[in-house]
A and B are shown apart, each in its own frame.
Chain A
Amino acid sequence: MAEIIEPFEFKQCISILKSTGKKAKDLRELRNVIARISDECIFHHTYQYFLKGHILEYTSDFAHWAGETLEERALSEHLSNIDPYDFKSIHDLRNKLLEVIDNYLEHFPEPRQAIPGDDFFFNETVTLIFPAGIRAKNLAEFLTAIKYVDAGSVYYHFFEARIRLGGGIDDFSRWVEDALGKKELVERIRSVDPFMHDLEGIRRHIAEAVEEEVKRDMEVIDRCLTGM
């Protein structure tokens, strides 16, 4: 009798924007607000940038604003190189952001101002998590599901899980490890760099890895036959 496997329950999340009422018109103001704004606000402008599904020109709202609005290209490159998943806490991430901006201000003490209306607006979010109504009982079902679940679900399980559960591990590879014990697939999923792909890219890479595994599982009999 087949072993009973804990199914994978797809969930997803949406975020409603909340204004903090704070804004910055130049780099010094940006720095000063970053220093004292809520953790939720820093989280939104860094980790949740990936939920937008934008092209990967930048990797946070701070880098985006520095590049597009202030046109401080070098600074935006420095900021874009900060990988939020490298940090254990928002406190550490905040300090890194401040370090990069302070360093830039030391060399370029008079950065330009944004034109009125193009200020940086500091926001937070309220996030609602809900079941996507999809459950995968085996790897083949998982493969079908990962191809068509909403991008919000990919975000929730691949990006948000790293913070929610700590340890920087996504939900997909955790399930493959705990429920299926497929170590090679676990490694392949964990080797997908969250910082280097948009949500559709992540979806594609995971689907490819899982598809290969499913094919290999199906081809066992063929291999037996050719071995005869």
Chain B
Amino acid sequence: MFDRYVGISPKSDLLLLQLLGAKLHNRSFLHINSTRSGGGVAEILQRMIPIIAELGIDVRWEVIEGDLEFFDITKKIHNALQGNPEKFTEKMWQHHYEINRKNAEKLTLDADAVIIHDPQPAPLIHFRKRGRWIWRCHIDLSNPQLYVWNNLSRYCKKYDAVIFSVSKFARAMPVEKFIITPSIDPISEKNRELTDGEIQETLNKFQIPTDRPIILQVSRFDRFKDPVGVIKAFRIVKKYNECILVLAGSPATDDPEGEIVLNEVKEFVNNDPDIYILLLPAFSDKDINALQRIATVILQKSIKEGFGLTVSEAMWKGKPVIGGAVGGIPLQIIHSVTGFLVNSAEGAAFRIRQLLNNPEMAKRMGENAKEHVRKNFLITRQIRDYLSIWYSLENKGKSIIEL
């Protein structure tokens, strides 16, 4: 597994991983979250755990169990931390704690380092046996409902350190606060190299013509992803350049708004034969990969975004990406170097035209984009950072550590 990243990930990252692996050899490392599959956290843990094990670290991944009420509460916590008003009672917080207490009885929490992912298992810190405990927050905490954050932070403050994805997602807390950006796996089905035949298969499946440049946005049908804005931009571009637009996204079954937004989009498309709306079922990773590889320009015109890892996924295919200047997108797109940041449909249209009319510039930007992802947003860098934090906590107080 580790060998598969040689020649892909920066060699310094691989070297440091091996050095840290030697320093932390046979030590125990436990990750705990609330689901084995579905969602970004489970997806990255599935791929990360075997790599960490291969480095000689005794790594385990445990998942807490809960009833429907528990997950209803944690969904509300999640939404409230992202700013939505939600009603909470003391009984709900007690249930949150109680389910964690029951899990603590079943799970072996003994480890040299423990990373607890997100709010669901955060109360487990009360049942800590030993070792370094780190709370990994994957959510944007920049503007939470304070009554919810105050309740949750009772637990978070007890950890040795917390990790946020972006500086602006962090909150002031009396513990060490690290910033680790998320990552993509370059050898996963969504990101691996594809053969021409595999790409053609996808194009045939969706009957997408390749006689004109393809403009692509891959995202859920969600207003925050601004699919209507993308179509507006496309219509401006069409006055000047021949091209087609592909909007590809999974129908969000758990999101009642998804259906409404999709209908709005369809209405706005008004049977335009040059706009392709693709409803991809779950596990369409290879198709998304193929679409990104065949596209000329890729958009992520969000008006609100978490980290927005689809940007890195597109950049990894050597494509220039035009993204909304929100959330974590400006960390991935360095304006005019690895892509373009925009604030309006008109801005997006202008940048699409620039890229369509300057293939050399588009190529150069795509190459920069891929290099930027290679250096900053691959899974090996994220593992390197987790192990570095663990190691730095063992050398507490030092801001420079020589291995």
Contact = CB atoms under 8 A, between A and B. Distances in A.
Given A40-B399, A127-B401, A18 B177 contact: yes
Contacts of B403: 128-131
A16 B389 contact: yes
Given A16-B388, A126-B399, A127-B401, A119 B168 contact: yes
Interface stretch (B9-17, B223-231, B274-282, B284-292): B9-17
Please indicate which of the listed interface residues A121, A126, A133 has the most CB atoms of chain B within 10 Å of its own CB.
A126
B64 interface: no
Contacts of B388: 14, 16, 126, 128
Interface in A75-124: 116-117, 119, 121, 123-124
Contacts of B326: 117
B178 interface: yes
B11 A18 contact: no
A14 B179 CA distance: 14
B65 interface: no
A128 B178 contact: no
A17 B381 CA distance: 13
Nearest to A16: B388
B303 interface: no
A117 B392 CA distance: 29
Contact of A22 (B11, B15, B19, B172): B172
Please indicate which of the listed interface residues A19, A40, A126 has the most CB atoms of chain B within 10 Å of its own CB.
A19
A123 B179 contact: yes
B214 interface: no
Contacts of B177: 18-21
B101 interface: no
A40 B397 CA distance: 12
B184 interface: no
Contact of A150 (B10, B170, B179, B398): B10
Interface string A20-55: 111000000000000000001000000000000011
Nearest to B400: A127
Contacts of A128: 16, 388, 391-392, 401-403
A130 B167 contact: no
Nearest to A52: B334
A67 interface: no
Nearest to B337: A55
A152 B180 contact: no
B142 interface: yes
Contacts of B179: 16-19, 123
Given A19-B167, A19-B179, A40-B399, A130 B392 contact: no
Contact of B176 (A18, A132, A150): A18
Interface in B157-206: 164, 167-168, 170-173, 176-180
B401 A126 contact: yes
B399 A129 contact: no
B402 A130 contact: yes
A63 to B, nearest CB: 16
Interface residues of A, number: 30
Contact of B399 (A124, A132, A150): A124
Contacts of A19: 164, 167, 170, 177-179
B15 A16 contact: no
B385 interface: yes
A18 B19 CA distance: 22
B32 to A, nearest CB: 22
B288 to A, nearest CB: 28
Nearest to A129: B402
Nearest to A21: B172
A69 to B, nearest CB: 10
A21 B173 contact: yes
Nearest to A160: B400
A125 B388 CA distance: 12
A133 B401 CA distance: 17
B170 A132 contact: no
Please indicate which of the listed interface residues A17, A150, A152 has the most CB atoms of chain B within 10 Å of its own CB.
A17
Nearest to A123: B167
A12 interface: yes
Interface of A: 12, 14, 16-22, 40, 54-55, 116-117, 119, 121, 123-133, 150, 152-153
Given A21-B170, A21-B173, 13 more contacts: A14-B13, A16-B385, A17-B178, A21-B177, A55-B337, A117-B168, A121-B168, A126-B401, A128-B16, A128-B402, A150-B11, A150-B12, A153-B12
Interface of B: 10-13, 15-16, 19, 142-143, 164, 167-168, 170-173, 176-180, 326, 334, 337, 384-385, 388-389, 391-392, 398-403
Q: Which 10 A-B pairs have the closest CB atoms?
A: A21-B172, A121-B167, A17-B179, A19-B177, A150-B12, A130-B403, A19-B170, A129-B402, A126-B392, A127-B400
6 contacts: A14-B388, A19-B167, A55-B337, A117-B168, A117-B326, A130-B403
